[in-house]
Chains A and B, each alone.
Chain A
Amino acid sequence: MKLFMQRSDVGDFRRRYNFMVLGIVIAFALLTARLAQLQIAQAESHQAQARRNVVGRVTLATTRGVIRDAQGRVLAANRPSYDIYVVPALLDFEQTWPKLTQWMGLSAPRAKELAAKVREIQGREGKRRLQQMLLEVDVSRDVVAALETHAAELPGVDVVPTPVRYYPYGEVASHLLGYMREIDAETLAQHEGQSYRAGDRLGAVGVERRWESYLRGQRGWQKVVRGANRHAQRTGMAERFLDDPRRLEPIPGRDISLTIDVELEKAITREMRSQLAGAVVVVDVRTGRVLAAVSKPAFDPNVLSGEQGKAAIREAFERLSRDPLKPLLDKTTSAVYPPGSTYKPFSALAALSEGLIEPTTKVDCKGGYEFGRRFFRCTAVHRKVDLYDAIVQSCNTYFYALGELIHIDQLAKLGMDFGFGVKTGLGINPEARGRMPTRAWYARRYRGDGFRGGFTLLSAIGQGATAVTVMQLALSYAALANDGTLYQPQVVRSIETSSGTTVQDFPPRVRRIIDVDPAQLALVKQALRGVVAEPKGTAFAEALPGVDMAGKTGTAQVGHVSPRSVDPKREWYFNRDHAWFAGYAPAKSPEIAIVVLVEHGGGGGKNAAPIAMRVVDAWQKLGKRRLTAHNGGEPRKDGTSL
Chain B
Amino acid sequence: MSLFARGSARAREHFDWPLFLAVVGIAIIGVVNLYSATSPYIDDPRRSGLADMYVQQVYWLVVGGLFGTLAAVVDYRSIERFAYVFYGLGIASLILVLLLSSDIRGSSRWIDLGRFAFQPSEFMKIFVVLAVARKLSDDPRTETKTLIDLAPAALLFAAPAVLVMFQPDFGTSMIYAACGFTMLALTRLRRSSLVVFVMGLLPLCWSMWHFGLREYQRGRILSFLDPEADRTGTGWHALQSRTAIGNGGLWGEGFREGIQNQFGFLPDQFSDFPFSVFAEDWGFVGCLALLALYAFVCAWAVNIAAMAKDRFGAAVAVGVGAMFFWHTFFNIGMTIGILPVVGITLPLFSYGGSSTLTTLVGFGLLMNVSLRR
Contacts and interface: CB of A to CB of B under 8 A. Distances in A.
A45 interface: yes
Contact of A24 (B43, B240, B299, B310): B299
B314 interface: yes
B230 to A, nearest CB: 9
Contact of B288 (A32, A45, A54, A128): A32
Contacts of B250: 39-40, 43
Nearest to A130: B264
Contacts of B260: 50, 53
A40 B284 contact: yes
Interface string B194-238: 000000000000000000000000000000000000011110100
Contacts of B337: 34, 38
Interface string B235-248: 01000101111111
Interface in A1-26: 6, 9-17, 19-21, 24-25
B42 to A, nearest CB: 8
A234 B246 contact: no
Contact of B259 (A43, A125, A241): A241
A446 interface: no
Contacts of A50: 243-244, 246-247, 259-260, 265
A47 B247 contact: yes
Given A35-B284, A50-B260, A227-B263, A45 B246 contact: yes
B263 A24 contact: no
Contact of B43 (A38, A51, A235, A241): A235
A25 B295 contact: yes
Contacts of B244: 50
A49 B231 CA distance: 13
Given A9-B140, A9-B310, A10-B308, A46 B243 contact: yes
B252 to A, nearest CB: 9
B185 interface: yes
Given A126-B233, A234-B262, A12 B243 contact: no
B365 to A, nearest CB: 17
Contacts of B246: 38-39, 42-43, 45-47, 49-50
A31 B333 CA distance: 7
Contact of B284 (A36, A126, A241): A36
Contacts of A232: 40, 44, 262-264
Q: With a 10 A CB-CB cut-off, give which of B140, B263, B283 has the most chain A CB atoms.
A: B263
A122 to B, nearest CB: 14
B81 interface: no
A229 interface: yes
Contact of B338 (A21, A24, A30, A53): A30
Contacts of A51: 259
B306 A127 contact: no
B336 A233 contact: no
A53 B265 contact: yes
B256 to A, nearest CB: 8
Contacts of B283: 39
A228 interface: yes
A225 B332 contact: no
Nearest to A50: B247
Given A28-B295, A46-B245, A237-B257, A226 B142 contact: no
Q: With a 10 A CB-CB cut-off, give which of A31, A34, A42 has the most chain B CB atoms.
A: A31
A39 B232 contact: no
Contact of A237 (B182, B262, B309): B262
A146 interface: no
A47 B299 contact: no
A27 interface: yes
A544 B182 CA distance: 114
A26 to B, nearest CB: 11
A50 B265 CA distance: 9
B249 A13 contact: no
Interface string B294-307: 11001100110110
Nearest to B39: A234
A569 interface: no
A35 B263 contact: no
A231 interface: yes
Given A20-B302, A24-B295, A234-B40, A35 B264 contact: no
Contact of B232 (A6, A42, A127): A127
Contacts of B248: 39, 43
B279 interface: yes
A35 B278 CA distance: 12
Nearest to B47: A231
B14 interface: no
Given A21-B299, A40-B284, A47-B249, A53 B305 contact: no
B329 interface: yes
Interface string A91-132: 000000000000000000000000000000000111110000
A34 B336 contact: yes
B113 to A, nearest CB: 28
Contact of A125 (B187, B236, B242): B236
Nearest to B309: A6
B186 interface: yes
Interface string A218-230: 0000000111110
A16 B314 CA distance: 11
B284 A39 contact: yes
A19 B182 CA distance: 11
A125 B230 CA distance: 10
A30 B262 CA distance: 28
Interface string B309-343: 11100110010010001000100110011100000
Given A20-B302, A50-B244, A31 B232 contact: no
Nearest to A52: B243
B291 interface: yes
Q: With a 10 A CB-CB cut-off, give which of B187, B188, B298 has the most chain A CB atoms.
A: B298
Contact of B264 (A14, A24, A47, A227): A227
A228 B263 contact: yes
B346 to A, nearest CB: 12
Contacts of A49: 243, 246-247
A19 to B, nearest CB: 8
Contacts of B336: 31, 34-35, 38
A13 B284 contact: no
A228 B264 contact: yes
A121 to B, nearest CB: 12
Contact of A10 (B236, B249, B309): B309
A85 B257 CA distance: 33
A38 B243 CA distance: 8
B46 interface: yes
B234 A125 contact: yes
Given A36-B284, A39-B279, A127-B232, A24 B325 contact: yes
A604 B299 CA distance: 110
Interface of B: 39-40, 43-44, 46-47, 140, 142, 182, 185-188, 231-234, 236, 240, 242-250, 257, 259-260, 262-265, 279, 283-284, 287-288, 291, 294-295, 298-299, 302-303, 305-306, 308-311, 314-315, 318, 321, 325, 329, 332-333, 336-338
24 contacts: A6-B309, A12-B187, A15-B188, A16-B185, A24-B295, A24-B299, A31-B333, A31-B336, A31-B338, A39-B246, A39-B284, A40-B250, A43-B247, A46-B246, A47-B249, A51-B259, A53-B263, A54-B263, A125-B234, A127-B232, A227-B265, A231-B47, A233-B263, A234-B39
Given A43-B250, A46-B242, A228-B263, 6 more contacts: A10-B314, A21-B302, A34-B337, A39-B245, A49-B243, A231-B44
10 interchain residue pairs of minimum CB distance: A46-B246, A232-B264, A126-B232, A227-B263, A50-B247, A39-B284, A228-B264, A12-B142, A43-B249, A227-B264
Interface of A: 6, 9-17, 19-21, 24-25, 27-28, 30-32, 34-36, 38-40, 42-43, 45-47, 49-51, 53-54, 124-128, 225-229, 231-235, 237, 241
